[in-house]
Amino acid sequence: MMSAEPIDTIVIGGGLHGLSAALHLARAGRRVVVLERSWVGRHASGASAAGVRTLNRHPAEIPISLEAMDMWSNIEAIVGDHCGFHANGQILVAEHPRHVPVLEQRLASTQAAGYRHEELIDRAELLRLVPAISPHCTAALVARQDGAADPHRTLQAFRRSAEAAGVVINEGFGVTAVERCGSDWRVSTGQRDFVAPTIVNAAGAWAGRIAAMIGDDIPLGHKASMMIVTERVAPLLKPVTSVVGRPLSFKQSDQGTLVIGGGLQGRADIDRQKSFVNFAELAKAARAATDLFPSVGTVRIVRTWTGMEAKTDDYLPIVGASPVASGVFHAFGFSGHGFQLVPVVGAILADLIVHGATTRSIERLSADRFLRRRAAE
Ligand SMILES: Cc1cc2nc3c(=O)[nH]c(=O)nc-3n(C[C@H](O)[C@H](O)[C@H](O)COP(=O)(O)OP(=O)(O)OC[C@H]3O[C@@H](n4cnc5c(N)ncnc54)[C@H](O)[C@@H]3O)c2cc1C
C-alpha cells in the first residue's frame, strides 16, 4: 500500500538528528514524514549523556559546533522548551603536571585558528569552579559556555515542535528497501510504501545499510558507549568534567544523580539491535571518577546502560548530499558526540534540501572522503 498524501521528504530514523532535520524542513514549508523502526529515541538519542560540548572538538567540527552552541543558548525559542540545558561549562582536567602540555598545545592550536571558546585555568580556578575535585589535579581547559541537557526532555521537545510544524512521525515503520521510482524514491516498510523526491538518512547505527540501498558504500564501524548513573547525592559539581588520558565524563543531573561515562565501549550486536555492558571495562570509569572525586567512593550505582551508533574512521560525522544518488542526504556517523550538533545539523540539511547549498562549513564531513579513499586503495 502506498502513502496517499504527497510527501516532499522522507526522514529515515526518529532519533534527534532525524527529528531536527524534519523540524527544520517542515518550518521551511516542506511536507515531511519520519519513519522510525522502533520508537522515537530508542537508540543513541535516548541513551545519550547529552553533553553539550564545544570543548576539545575536532577542528573540522568547531565552526558548526560553535553555531550549535549559540542555538543551545537559545533552545527554548527554537523548540519551546529549555531541554534541561544548563550552561555550567565543560572542563578537561590535567591530573598531573605532565598532562598540562596537552592542554597548552590544544589551546595554542585553537587560538592559532582564531577561536577563543577554550581557556586554560590553574589549580586555584579549577578548585573554585569544582570544589569537590581532588586537590592533586593541576590545571584544566574550560569552555565556560558549554554544559549538558536532558536527553529525554530534548527528544520530547524536538518531537513536539516537529509535529506542531506538520511532521508526521510513524513509529514501528522499519525501512526495508529504497529504490528509484522515476525521479522520486520509493521507501518500503513492512506496512506501507512511501514515495518522495528527497530522503534524509538519519538511521544512526544502521545508516550504512540505508546508504548501501541507494548505492553509497560507506565503511562504518559501530560504538556501544557505556554509562553509569548513581543514586542521588547532595549538590557536588556543576561543570561536566573529563580528564586527560583517562576515560571519564562526570556530571550531576538536575535530580542529583551522578552520570558517569567517558566513551568506554561495550558490545554492539547491530543485527539484533542490542548492546551489552562490559562491566570490567566500565569499572575504569568508576575508578577515574573516585580518583578525581574521592567523596563519591561510597555512592551506590543504580543503573548502567549502553547505546549504539555509527563510527567513522576519522570520528567525524557524514553530513551532506549523497555523492552518487540525487535527492538523498546523509546525517550519521556522529561517533559518540552528535548530541550537541543536533540543532545545527537539522538546519544544514534543510539548507541543502530547500536551497541546494549551505553556507555552513561541512566540506570535511562529506561522504566523498570515504568513497575517494576507497577508490585510491
Ligand atoms: C551512551 C552515549 C552517550 C553519549 N553522550 C554524548 C554526549 O555527551 N554529547 C554528545 O554530543 N553526544 C553524545 N552521544 C552521541 C549522541 O547521543 C548521538 O550522536 C546522537 O544521539 C545520534 O542521534 P541520531 O539521531 O543520529 O541516532 P539515533 O538516536 O540512534 O537514531 C537513529 C534512529 O534510526 C532508527 N532506524 C535505524 N534503522 C532504521 C530503519 N531501517 N528504518 C527506520 N528507522 C531506522 C533507529 O531505530 C533509531 O531510532 C552519546 C551517545 C551514547 C550512545
Q: What is the pLDDT of residues 219-229, one digit of tens each?
A: 999 999 999 99
**Partners of 93 in the β-ladder:** 140, 243
Of 285, 307, 329, the residue that ends a domain is: 307
**Residue 35 phi/psi, 5° resolution?**
-110, 115
Of the candidates 289, 307, 325, which is a domain's last residue?
A: 307
Q: Which mutation among 275, 334, 342 tests ligand 1's pocket best, with the greatest number of atoms within 8 A of CB?
A: 334
Please give the tally of structural domains in the chain. Answer: 2
93 has pLDDT over 90: yes
Question: Quick one: pLDDT at residue 84?
Answer: 98
User: Could you tell me if 202 and 331 lie in one domain?
Assistant: yes
Cβ < 6 A, ligand 1 pocket: 12-18, 35-38, 42-45, 47-51, 53, 174-175, 202-204, 206, 225, 227, 261, 307, 309, 332, 334, 336-340
Q: Where does 16-73 show beta strands of DSSP type E?
A: 32-36, 51-52
Confidence at 155, pLDDT banded by 50, 70, 90 = very high
Instruction: Give the distance (Å) from ligand 1 centre to CA of residue 116.
Output: 29
Mutation probe of ligand 1 site: the residue of 39, 45, 72 with most atoms within 8 A of C-beta: 45
Q: What is the mean pLDDT of residues 203-209?
A: 98
In this structure, the answer to whether residues 135 and 227 fall within a common structural domain is: yes
- Ligand 1, residues 259, 309, 316: which to mutate, most atoms within 8 A of Cβ? 309
Structural domain includes residue 29: yes
The answer to whether residue 377 scores a pLDDT higher than 60 is no
376 — pLDDT class (breaks 50, 70, 90)? low
Same domain, 123 and 95: yes
Nearest CA residue ID for atom 9, ligand 1? 51
Q: Is residue 55 assigned to a domain?
A: no
> Is 257 a member of any domain?
yes
Grid coordinates representing 328?
Answer: 538523498
**Residue 332 CA, closest ligand 1 atom number:** 26
In a domain, 125, yes or no: yes
Instruction: Provide the grid cell at 137.
Output: 589535579
Across the chain, mean pLDDT equals 96
Residues 156 and 303 in one domain: no
pLDDT computed for residue 371 by the predictor: 78
Q: Which H/E stretch holds residue 25? A: helix 16-27
126 and 156 share one domain: no
Looking at the domain assignment, is residue 67 inside a domain? no
Question: Per the domain annotation, does 297 fall within a domain?
Answer: yes
Q: What pLDDT band is residue 2 in, cutting at 50, 70 and 90? A: low
The helix, strand and coil proportions of the chain, stated in percent and rounded to the nearest 5, come to 35, 30, 40
Residues 133 and 237 both lie in one domain: yes
**175 & 273 share domain:** no
Are 199 and 338 in a shared domain?
Answer: yes
The answer as to whether 68 is a domain residue is: no
Asked if 360 and 320 sit in the same domain, the reply is yes
CATH number of the structural domain spanning residue 284 = 3.30.9.10
**Atom in ligand 1 nearest the alpha carbon of residue 223:** 53
Q: Which of these three, 307, 325, 349, is where a domain ends?
A: 307
Residue 373 in this model has a pLDDT that exceeds 90:
no
What is the per-residue pLDDT across 292-351, written as a single tens digit (0 to 9) for each? 999 999 999 999 999 999 999 999 999 999 999 999 999 999 999 999 999 999 999 999
Residues in CB range of 279: below 8 A, 6 or more apart: 304
Same domain, yes or no: 354 and 297: no
Residues 341 and 318 in one domain: yes
User: What is the DSSP track for 82-105?
Assistant: -TT-B---EEEEE-SGGGHHHHHH
Domain contains 59: no
Domain shared by 123 and 169, yes or no: no
Range of the domain at 287: 90-144+223-307
Q: Which residue has the cell 592550536?
A: 109
How do strand 9-12 and strand 198-201 relate by DSSP bridges?
parallel
